[in-house]
């Protein structure tokens, strides 16, 4: 029998083992402020289900994936980000992924340049 992998940072936050400044919480996801923000507003929208990355999401995850974007929309409205915001999903080390648990970055509060990195 294979050993169960160690819980990710986000699983530990969701389980309440690690404190976080939550902006939103529901049955599908949590949204928390990034501890190393890259913009004045930097919120991570994290599904409770530990999907490693979008490249490993299954068709059955479509409702969860859609929910993450709708939560981002709702947060942007609630936080008055009408001047604009950016959503980012990193996938794999070359994509900038640092935690192998799918999450959406919501960045705003300053002009964001292109290309991003």
**Of 24, 33, 67, 103, catalytic:** 103
Residue with the two structure tokens 């939103």? 24
Give yes or no: 80 in active site. no
Radius of gyration of the chain (CA): 14
HSE-up (13 A, CA, CB side) for residue 66: 5
Closest-CA residue to 107 (of 46, 45, 42, 44):
42
- Lookup: tokens for 93: 């080390």
Cis peptide before 12 (omega within 30 of 0): no
Instruction: Name the phi and psi angles at 73, rounded to 5.
Output: -60, -50
> Which residues have a catalytic role annotated?
103
């Amino acid at each position: 029998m294979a050993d169960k992998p160690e819980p990710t940072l986000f699983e530990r936050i969701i389980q309440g083992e690690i404190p976080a400044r939550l902006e939103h919480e529901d049955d599908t996801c949590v949204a928390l402020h990034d501890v190393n923000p890259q913009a004045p507003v930097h919120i991570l929208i994290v599904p409770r289900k530990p999907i490693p990355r979008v490249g490993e999401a299954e068709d059955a995850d479509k409702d969860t994936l859609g929910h993450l974007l709708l939560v981002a929309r709702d947060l942007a409205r609630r936080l008055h980000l009408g001047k604009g915001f950016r959503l980012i999903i990193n996938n794999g080390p070359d994509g900038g992924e640092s935690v192998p648990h799918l999450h959406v970055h919501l960045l705003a509060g300053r002009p964001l340049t292109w290309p991003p990195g």
